[in-house]
Structure 1
Amino acid sequence: MIVDYDGNICIITQEKATVKTLANNLEVGYHKYKNYHLIINLSSLESISLEEIVEFLRLNNTHRADKKSFVLVSDKVNLDEMPDEIVVVPTQHEAYDIIEMEDIERDLGF
């Protein structure tokens, strides 16, 4: 996994590990990322299933409870099948847009 920082955003890019392994590694090392908005880039995967997306649900819920954004990036999923609790977008640019919108919502008290 490749970890990059852009201000208050941490971008984690999937390399070779399975989605389940990546989700577990993120949970174990969560203390390193908990103060950042997270973008998990899964674009390198050939395909990704709903079950694999759900692997991030617990981490997503924990991170959002701390008033931080959590966005998955993949253009290989059916966005209509994704659970409402997890934000999945097809491009990293859209992930930045989501974080910006969520920051505005938090500032307004939503």
Structure 2
Amino acid sequence: MEIQQKDKYTLVRIDASTQDQFEQKWEGLKTNHLVVEVSENLNIDNSKISLFLNIASDLKVNGMSFVVIKSGIDIDDFPENLNIVPTLQEAEDVLEMEAIERDLGF
């Protein structure tokens, strides 16, 4: 697992060998907007999605954003309140859009 502090968010890169570390340590990452880049070798199943949904809900309550970066998946298969995008640039765009929504009171 690789963790990078960016100016406006924390970027976490996980793969099959580090997914358990993320599940154990994400509580300590709740102080900033969180972007999780999921490796191509890691399949997202329903148990992982429920973890991501819980994280997204917890962060949203605290005025933070959560975005998953994973290419090659059909986002229609996942709940609407989970932001899944294929690139880091799109993740940054989602963070900016959500910041604007918060500023406008949505």
TM-score range, shorter chain: 0.7 to 0.9
Distance in structure 2 (CA, Å) of the matches to 1:36 and 1:73: 17
Of 10, 28, 39 in structure 1, the residue corresponding to residue 35 of structure 2 is: 39
Q: Where in structure 2 are there 5+ consecutive unaligned residues?
A: none
Q: TM-score, normalised by structure 2?
A: 0.86
Q: TM-score, normalised by structure 1?
A: 0.83
**SS of the counterpart of 2:35?**
strand
CA contact (8 A) 1:73 1:92 kept: yes
Distance in structure 2 (CA, Å) of the matches to 1:39 and 1:46: 16
Of 53, 59, 72 in structure 2, the residue corresponding to residue 57 of structure 1 is: 53
Q: Where in structure 1 are there 5+ consecutive unaligned residues?
A: none
Partner of 2:89: 93
- How many corresponding residue pairs? 105
**SS of the counterpart of 2:79?**
coil
CA contact (8 A) 2:40 2:71 kept: no
User: Which AA in structure 2 matches 1:63?
Assistant: L
CA contact (8 A) 1:50 1:81 kept: no
Q: Residues 50 and 88 from structure 1, CA distance in 2 versus in 1: closer, same or farther, beyond 3 angstroms?
A: farther
Distance in structure 2 (CA, Å) of the matches to 1:89 and 1:63: 18
Distance in structure 2 (CA, Å) of the matches to 1:24 and 1:107: 30
Distance in structure 1 (CA, Å) of the matches to 2:95 and 2:62: 14
Partner of 2:23: 24
User: Which AA in structure 1 matches 2:13?
Assistant: T
Query: After TM superposition, which residue ranges in structure 1, 4 or more long, deviate above 3 angstroms?
Result: none
Distance in structure 1 (CA, Å) of the matches to 2:75 and 2:51: 16
CA contact (8 A) 1:14 1:41 kept: yes
Identity of aligned residues (%): 29
